[in-house]
Structure 1
Amino acid sequence: MMNIGPQVSTRVNDPDSVDAAILSRFSARAYLSQAVERSVLQELLSIAARAPSGTNTQPWKVYVLQGAKRDELVAKTCAAHDAISANPALAADYAEAYDYYPEKWVSPYIDRRRECGFGLYGVLGIGKGDKAMMHAQHQKNFRFFDAPVGLIFTIDKVMGRGSLLDYGMFLQSIMVAARSRGLHTCPQAAWNGFSNIILPLVGAGDNEMVVCGMSLGYADESALVNTFQTTRVAAQDFTHWVD
């Protein structure tokens, strides 16, 4: 990683590239088998470590899974996912450690959620009520969408909710830095319910909680699923100028 020198005097000479990295980030759901060098992953994480955090607590901890360990996690989690599908009562054994989504959905959030879901399934030709196809598509989360690199992010349970805000900035930093290297990502809350499988497998401590997972690799540009684009609310619709 290049040493940028004093931060206060650093000039961004190519702001268009910074914007392009942000604007081209999306949740890629199909990847090539092409490996990602460890040196590249180390560089990404070193850059992301500059993300801000309250009083510089830096609450993130990252487990990088490749090869046999990645495949082991995929196999065990997919088996659990299939078991839950066959017997929904088993879902109680896989409770999330924190509420990522609200208990009660209201507009406009439920509308955006539905638009996203219907849009993705529409691109893939998955009809409403096709539970088998929905299950298969959802399970691709637990295969890291065939990406060669799976990331699991944890946090010490002692930390407060503000540290999850810090974590979001860290995750975004990884994803934007990945774009500058031709890589794509998909952050995944889907992993959160399977901490009792994940934490022992990666060697995490009893004090750790899963924040989310992430797929990382070279996106398959020929995959139909990667043509799906989510919409964004226009800035003028969520911005309030207080003069």
Structure 2
Amino acid sequence: MTEAKAVERAILNRRAVRAFLPDPVDPVLLRRLLELAAQAPSGTNMQPWKLRVLGPQSRARLETALIVALDSPDLPAEEEYRYYPQTFREPYLSRRRKVGWDLYTLLGVTRGDTEGMKRQTAANLRFFDAPVALMLTIDRDLEIGSWLDLGMFLQNLLIAAQGHGLDSCPQAIFARFHPVVRRELAIPEDEVVVCGIAIGHADRTAPANQLVPEREPVERFTTWLD
């Protein structure tokens, strides 16, 4: 396989995996993935990303607190930052609805099944049982350019993991639970909780992992100028 084909395969095969096998990930390999991710470009080489690798104790403490918070009426309604628009419009509304209901259909969760949705949220908060759990943050005083850099770091990590035979899932849900994450992981107020990242080996038999989101053809998002 050529280098170009290997890169293409990693990009095309990467999916948001929502069920993992318990097989461990070699810590040496994980460190290598982080080294590769850190090769992402950043404006004036600021390298604004901050990452925490959760060990068994910190992870157990965090997951326990998150599951308790899931049933708590005291959880703040606002996320750490606004990921989605306040009002969805087309074509984004239809895309969002389709991928959401495609996933829930695979999981056997029907409209109005609040318990089923809650179970999936709880699985999300447990990093989908992946052997590797990471938490990504960024300094609060940085601007949108640094957030773009952060996204390139994250994509590098996901593609590098895929290239090394691992699967992954970036998890924005932790921004919603940022007070709990901040407390349990001792994250200072001057850092924004951006997302969690689950890494491991996908459980290929899990219904959730059969989801393949549709992608728009090039013609729909590209304008070719003379």
Secondary structure (helix, strand or coil) at the match of 1:186 reads strand
2:12 aligned partner, one-letter code: L
Residue 7 of structure 1 corresponds to which residue in structure 2? none
Match of 2:44 among 42, 47, 55: 55
For residue 205 of structure 1, report the CA deviation from its aligned partner. Answer: 2.5
For residue 30 of structure 1, report the CA deviation from its aligned partner. Answer: 0.2
For residue 201 of structure 1, report the CA deviation from its aligned partner. Answer: 2.3
Secondary structure (helix, strand or coil) at the match of 1:133 reads helix
Offset from partner CA, 1:202-233 (integer Å, 9 cap, x none): 23223111111111111111112111111000
For residue 77 of structure 1, report the CA deviation from its aligned partner. Answer: 0.7
Q: Is residue 75 of structure 1 aligned with residue 64 of structure 2?
A: yes
In structure 1, distance between residues paired with 2:22 and 2:57: 14
For residue 139 of structure 1, report the CA deviation from its aligned partner. Answer: 1.7
> CA RMSD for the aligned pairs?
1.4
Residue 227 of structure 1 corresponds to which residue in structure 2? 210
Residue 128 of structure 2 corresponds to which residue in structure 1? 145
* Partners of 1:27 and 1:185 within 8 A in 2: yes
In structure 2, distance between residues paired with 1:108 and 1:21: 28
Q: Is residue 14 of structure 1 aligned with residue 3 of structure 2?
A: yes
For residue 131 of structure 1, report the CA deviation from its aligned partner. Answer: 0.7
Which consecutive aligned stretches of 4+ in structure 1 deviate over 3 angstroms post-superposition? Answer: none
* Partners of 1:94 and 1:195 within 8 A in 2: no
For residue 198 of structure 1, report the CA deviation from its aligned partner. Answer: 1.3
For residue 13 of structure 1, report the CA deviation from its aligned partner. Answer: 4.6
Residue 118 of structure 1 corresponds to which residue in structure 2? 101
5+ residue gaps, structure 1, are: 1-11
Secondary structure (helix, strand or coil) at the match of 1:212 reads strand
Secondary structure (helix, strand or coil) at the match of 1:216 reads strand
Describe the shift of the 1:216–1:94 C-alpha distance in structure 2 as closer, same or farther (beyond 3 A): farther
In structure 2, distance between residues paired with 1:167 and 1:116: 25
Match of 1:187 among 170, 174, 196: 170
* Partners of 1:95 and 1:194 within 8 A in 2: no
2:50 aligned partner, one-letter code: K
In structure 2, distance between residues paired with 1:193 and 1:95: 7
In structure 1, distance between residues paired with 2:77 and 2:30: 30
Q: Is residue 162 of structure 1 aligned with residue 145 of structure 2?
A: yes
Paired residues for 1:192-207 under 5 Å: 192-207=175-190
For residue 78 of structure 1, report the CA deviation from its aligned partner. Answer: 1.2
Match of 1:31 among 20, 26, 31: 20
* Partners of 1:67 and 1:148 within 8 A in 2: no
1:72 aligned partner, one-letter code: R
In structure 2, distance between residues paired with 1:81 and 1:170: 29
Q: Is residue 214 of structure 1 aligned with residue 203 of structure 2?
A: no
Q: Is residue 136 of structure 1 aligned with residue 127 of structure 2?
A: no
In structure 1, distance between residues paired with 2:180 and 2:102: 31
5+ residue gaps, structure 2, are: none
For residue 133 of structure 1, report the CA deviation from its aligned partner. Answer: 0.6
Bigger shift: 69-78 or 12-21? 12-21
2:206 aligned partner, one-letter code: A
Secondary structure (helix, strand or coil) at the match of 1:153 reads strand
Q: Which has the larger radius of gyration?
A: 1
Aligned length: 226
1:153 aligned partner, one-letter code: L
In structure 1, distance between residues paired with 2:178 and 2:133: 15
For residue 94 of structure 1, report the CA deviation from its aligned partner. Answer: 5.3
**TM-score of the two chains, using structure 2 as the length reference:** 0.96
Offset from partner CA, 1:51-71 (integer Å, 9 cap, x none): 011111110000011312112
